[in-house]
Amino acid sequence: MARIRDGDPASYGTLVDRYTSLAHRTAYLLGAGHEAEDVVQEAFVKAFRALPSFRRGASFRAWLLRIVANETHNLVRSRRRRAATELRAASLEPVRADDPAAQAMADAAGSALLDAVRALPEKNRAVVVCRYFLDLTEAETAEVLGCPRGSVKSRVHRAFARLRAQLAEPDLEAVGD
């Protein structure tokens, strides 16, 4: 970071190389799907432009992932608005299109857990993704999502309670048969 601040923009390329994969995984898991690459590119551009406001001694990783999370949130919100506008314009009932991200995750993992995580409310899903899929600390998760650490803890608790309830239901039916 010191070299970048001292006017060596090539050093920023090192950070891009180091964090691209993690940023892409973050965007994908938070809902960007096939648009994750665009989200990551935009996040790196925004991060570069905002480097003067980056706090010395802060975690670049958490700061960047917060930008990625915000860009992903904006994309998801934009998709919903666009879909609602298109439906109003066409005066049609919504048609469920296959979600390529969900399909890829389902095919790769084949897991009820991933489906249950996707069904969580956005705030709870984001916390679970950051903490357990991206292996971020509570502090990093709080910074990425822009919320207090206490909120991270309570959201994880609520998410796990919901996941336990959702995942226990099929087990109970199987035992009853």
Say whether pLDDT at 169 is over 80: no
pLDDT digits (tens, 9 = 90+) for 47-81: 988 888 888 888 899 999 999 999 999 888 887 77
The residue extents of the domains of the chain are 1-97, 101-177
The CATH code that applies to domain 1-97 is 1.10.1740.10
The amino acid sitting at 77 is R
Residues 95-145 pLDDT 10s: 444 555 545 544 443 457 777 888 889 899 899 888 888 888 899 999 999
Q: One-letter amino acid identity for 142?
A: A
Average pLDDT, whole number, for the chain? Answer: 79
- pLDDT above 60: residue 171: no
Given a cut of 90, whether residue 11 has pLDDT beyond it is no
- What does the pLDDT average to over 22-45? 93
Burial class (CB in 10 A: 0-12, 13-18, 19+), 118: middle
Model confidence, pTM: 0.56
Q: Helices 10-27 and 36-49 meet at what angle, rounded to 10? A: 140
User: Which CATH architecture fits 101-177?
Assistant: Orthogonal Bundle (1.10)
| Residues 133, 126: Cα–Cα separation, whole Å | 10
- Are 1-97 and 101-177 in the same CATH fold? no
Q: Can you say whether the dihedral through the CA atoms of 11, 16, 17, 19 is positive or negative? A: positive
Token code pair at residue 63: 């700061």
pLDDT of residue 177 exceeding 50: no
Q: What percent of the chain has pLDDT over 90?
A: 34
